[in-house]
């Protein structure tokens, strides 16, 4: 008997999307070019921010954010315990220490109470992954006055207090 499972990360593309992908591949410009510039422009407009930079994956985006904050050796970065490994690896790439904290049972997002208990003098950032389309409680985390990096891969377009996630941290 064949088991039916929900496939993880299987793309769902229609004919129009396949044609657009084929045109990009034929152009020879898959890392840069007019389609990437258009995406960056459209996404920055959607997010109501000045600029957006497309990267190859979420790990690269998190790595760049940590570098931009000057985080490195001997620094600590608080991350939720229930996330993909990209958060942990990004922290490793800058030679900082990832400090895992519990998540809330009701939404799977990072627990502000757990964050509060984990903060030390070495804490330089908190990475928040908005899980399952549910925004994390950014306002509670802002009270700690520690830079917040938002991973919005699972919640693009979600809002908290009328503001899109990704512009809160």
Asked if 127 contacts 137 with a C-beta cutoff of 8 angstroms, the reply is no
Q: Find the angle CA(90)-CA(93)-CA(96) to the nearest 5 degrees.
A: 90
Percent of the chain exceeding pLDDT 70 equals 96
Pairing of strands 159-160, 148-151: unpaired
Among 5, 28, 47, the domain-final residue is 47
Statement to judge: residues 91 and 35 lie in one domain: no
Interval 21-31: pLDDT, tens: 999 899 988 88
The predicted structure's pLDDT at residue 31: 83
Instruction: Give, in order, the Cα–Cα distances in Å from 38 to each of 1, 12, 48.
Output: 47, 22, 15
Establish if 33 belongs to a structural domain. yes
Whether the per-residue pLDDT at 81 is higher than 70: the answer is yes
Q: What would the two tokens of residue 121 be?
A: 């003098």
| pLDDT band at residue 5 using 50, 70 and 90 as cut-offs | confident
Q: CA torsion 52→55→58→63, rounded to 10°? A: -90
pLDDT tens track for 41-80: 999 999 988 999 999 999 999 999 999 999 999 999 999 9
Residues 6+ apart with CB under 8 A from 168: 138, 142, 148, 150, 160
pLDDT tens digit string along 83-100? Answer: 889 999 999 999 999 999
Q: Which of 15, 51, 75 lies closest to 166 in space, CA to CA?
A: 51
**CATH code: domain of residue 72:** 3.40.640.10
| 144-165 mean pLDDT | 93
What is the extent of the structural domain holding 84?
Answer: 58-164
**Contact 96/149 with Cβ under 8 angstroms?**
no
What local confidence, expressed as pLDDT, does residue 169 receive?
Answer: 57
| Shared-domain flag, residues 38 and 74 | no
Is there a single domain that holds both residue 37 and residue 74? no
Least confident of 31-35, 62-66, 112-116, 152-156: 31-35
Are 100 and 76 within 8 A, CB to CB? no
Do residue 74 and residue 127 come from a single domain? yes
126 inside domain: yes
Q: Is residue 52 a part of any domain in this protein? A: no
Q: What is the mean pLDDT of residues 136-156?
A: 95
Are 64 and 43 within one domain?
A: no
- Judge whether 151 and 58 are in contact, CB under 8 Å: yes
Q: Is residue 72 part of a domain?
A: yes
Identify the DSSP state of 6: P
In this predicted structure, what is the pLDDT of residue 43?
A: 95
User: Would you say residue 97 lies in a domain?
Assistant: yes
Assess whether 34 and 100 both reside in one domain.
no
- Our count of domains for the chain comes to 2
pLDDT of residue 117: 98
Same domain assignment for residues 42 and 72: no
Both 22 and 97 in a single domain? no
| pLDDT computed for residue 161 by the predictor | 86
pLDDT at 1: 60
Same domain as 24, residue 79: no
């Amino acid at each position: 008997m064949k088991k039916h499972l929900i496939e993880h990360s299987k793309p769902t593309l229609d004919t129009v999307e396949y044609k657009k992908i084929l045109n990009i591949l034929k152009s020879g410009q898959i890392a840069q070019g007019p389609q990437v510039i258009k995406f960056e422009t459209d996404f920055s407009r959607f997010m109501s921010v000045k600029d957006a930079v497309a990267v190859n994956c979420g790990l690269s985006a998190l790595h760049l954010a940590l570098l931009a904050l000057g985080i490195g050796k001997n620094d600590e970065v608080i991350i939720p315990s229930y996330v993909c490994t990209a958060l942990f690896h990004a922290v490793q790439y800058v030679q900082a220490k990832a400090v895992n904290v519990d998540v809330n049972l009701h939404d799977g997002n990072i627990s502000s109470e757990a964050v509060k208990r984990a903060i030390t003098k070495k804490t330089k950032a908190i990475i928040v992954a908005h899980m399952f389309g549910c925004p994390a409680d950014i306002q509670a985390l802002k009270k700690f006055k520690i830079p917040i990096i938002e991973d919005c891969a699972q919640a693009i377009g979600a809002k908290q207090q009328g503001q899109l996630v990704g512009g809160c941290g």
